[in-house]
């Protein structure tokens, strides 16, 4: 069952697509998909570019060209499908969110169609360009901490003491978008021993977000410093029970983390693992199986987990509540600070998308999220 488009909504619209690995992006006219039962049609105004967009455009990761891109949106509800399960959305509402399941949900286009539970209402006082970069990384943090580490993040947050409040949790690449939100989520749920690994220029800000201590990954002895800080393991547990690798780079993060992890350590790695970064002249190389990375370098008993954020919908509670309720509530309450932004300029949607890709490829951005305007009107 589907509905007809409202007469004010165009039957087709422009979308940014890949054309071939490392080739210039292009604009394609695609159909506007009417919202079915429980669905929402959104006029997309803002989006963000993520490393996944670069992996797909330059490396063809998990796609067939031509392909629509984009998983972060901010916009306005244009039309509601029938059978809305919750009375919390109206036409004209300002919304934002994270989507990924098909072309109709891709966000580098002026209209997208998704399910109600993938939509967050924009809180008063929060700018849309701030919120557009939140959901994909905040959802990733929730999924990694619960599914990969097995930590409990009940909602609402219960009063009282967290039994694991002193457990050391290392967030490697803490200045990244996912790292920022992981630190903030852990703080809010009562984990008080978050060890942030990032460049020194980010340390003061990371402590404001909730890190107890920070180390600089450019220091040659950073692993020794972390181990000296955490001291001996408790009750037969490893000295560092959890390591969240927010970057997933063979050279940049994993070789050091392999020195840090020991039997019983859970290491959650952002996928894909970047074996070789894209450059202007060379194509990237990726690996999706973390167990094939650095064979022989990991100590026996280390638990390697490749983080697959798209699987968060398997958690029925998070499916219904994470984006529709928890994410906007955390923003509205000021628990979560949005990432610092870099607005990508350009005369057209296509030019802005291409400029964002070039910034990602050159690794020119640190501690900021690339955000750009989709609709020109």
Domains delineated in the chain: 12-133+338-373 (3.90.180.10), 137-310 (3.40.50.720)
Nearest-5° Cα angle at 248, 244 to 249: 135
Longest distance between any two alpha carbons in the chain, whole Å: 67
Quick count: other Cβ atoms within 10 Å of Cβ 295? Answer: 7
Residue recorded with tokens 């020794």: 224
Strands 94-98 and 169-172, by their bridges, are unpaired
Contact 34, 3 (CB under 8 A): yes
Strand runs labelled E in the chain: 12-17, 26-31, 39-49, 72-80, 94-98, 111-115, 120-121, 169-172, 194-197, 213-215, 242-245, 266-270, 273-276, 285-287, 303-307, 341-343, 369-373
Tens-place pLDDT, residues 86-100? 778 999 999 999 999
Sign of CA dihedral 204, 206, 211, 217: negative
Residue with the larger pLDDT of the pair 180 and 361: 180
User: In the chain, pLDDT over 90 holds for what percent of residues?
Assistant: 81
Q: What pLDDT, on a 0 to 100 scale, did the predictor assign at position 361?
A: 86
Among 372, 338, 367, 376, smallest CA distance to 357 is for 372
Instruction: Please state the rounded mean pLDDT for residues 30-55.
Output: 93
CB contact at 8 A, 35 and 113: yes
pLDDT, position 366: 73
- What residue spans of 124-176 are helical by DSSP H? 128-131, 135-143
Residue 249 pLDDT > 60? yes
**More confident position, 85 or 185:** 185
What's the whole-number mean pLDDT along residues 277-281?
Answer: 76
Q: What is the mean pLDDT of the chain?
A: 93
Question: Which two three-digit tokens encode residue 92?
Answer: 């004209």
Computed on alpha carbons and rounded to an integer, the radius of gyration of the chain in Å comes to 21
- pLDDT number for residue 303: 97
**Cα angle for residues 369, 131, 210 (degrees, 5° grid):** 70
For 199-232, what is each residue's pLDDT tens digit? 999 999 999 999 999 999 999 999 999 999 999 8
């Amino acid at each position: 069952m589907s509905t007809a488009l409202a007469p004010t909504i165009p039957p087709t619209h422009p979308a940014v697509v890949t054309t071939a690995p490392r080739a210039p992006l292009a604009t394609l006219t695609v159909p506007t998909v009417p919202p079915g039962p429980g669905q929402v049609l959104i006029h997309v105004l803002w989006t963000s570019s993520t490393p996944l967009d670069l992996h797909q455009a330059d490396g063809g990761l998990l796609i067939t060209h031509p392909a629509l891109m984009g998983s972060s949106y901010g916009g306005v509800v244009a039309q509601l499908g029938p059978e809305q399960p919750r009375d919390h959305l109206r036409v004209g509402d300002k919304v934002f969110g994270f989507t990924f399941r098909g072309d109709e949900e891709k966000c580098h286009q002026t209209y997208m169609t998704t399910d109600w539970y993938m939509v967050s209402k924009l809180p008063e006082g929060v700018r849309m360009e701030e919120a557009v970069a939140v959901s994909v990384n905040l959802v990733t943090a929730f999924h990694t901490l619960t599914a990969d580490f097995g930590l409990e993040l009940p909602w609402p947050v219960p009063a009282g003491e967290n039994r694991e409040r002193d457990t050391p949790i290392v967030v490697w690449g803490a200045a990244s978008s996912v790292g920022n939100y992981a630190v903030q989520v852990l703080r809010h749920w009562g984990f008080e021993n978050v060890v942030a690994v990032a460049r020194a220029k980010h340390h003061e800000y990371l402590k404001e977000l909730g890190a107890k201590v920070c180390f600089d990954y450019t220091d040659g002895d950073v692993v020794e410093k972390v181990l000296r800080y955490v001291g001996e393991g408790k009750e037969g547990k490893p000295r560092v029970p959890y390591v969240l690798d927010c970057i997933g780079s063979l050279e940049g993060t994993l070789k050091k983390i392999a020195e840090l992890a020991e039997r019983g350590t859970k290491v959650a790695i952002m996928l894909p693992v970047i074996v070789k970064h894209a450059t202007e002249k060379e194509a990237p190389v990726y690996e999706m199986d973390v167990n094939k990375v650095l064979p022989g370098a990991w100590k026996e008993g280390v638990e390697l987990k490749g983080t697959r954020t798209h699987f968060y919908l398997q958690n029925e509670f998070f499916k219904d509540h994470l984006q529709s309720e928890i994410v906007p509530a955390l923003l509205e309450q000021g628990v979560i600070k949005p990432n610092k932004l870099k607005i990508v300029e350009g005369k057209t949607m296509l030019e802005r998308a291409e400029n964002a890709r070039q910034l990602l490829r050159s690794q020119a951005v640190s501690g900021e999220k690339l955000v750009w305007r989709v609709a020109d009107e």
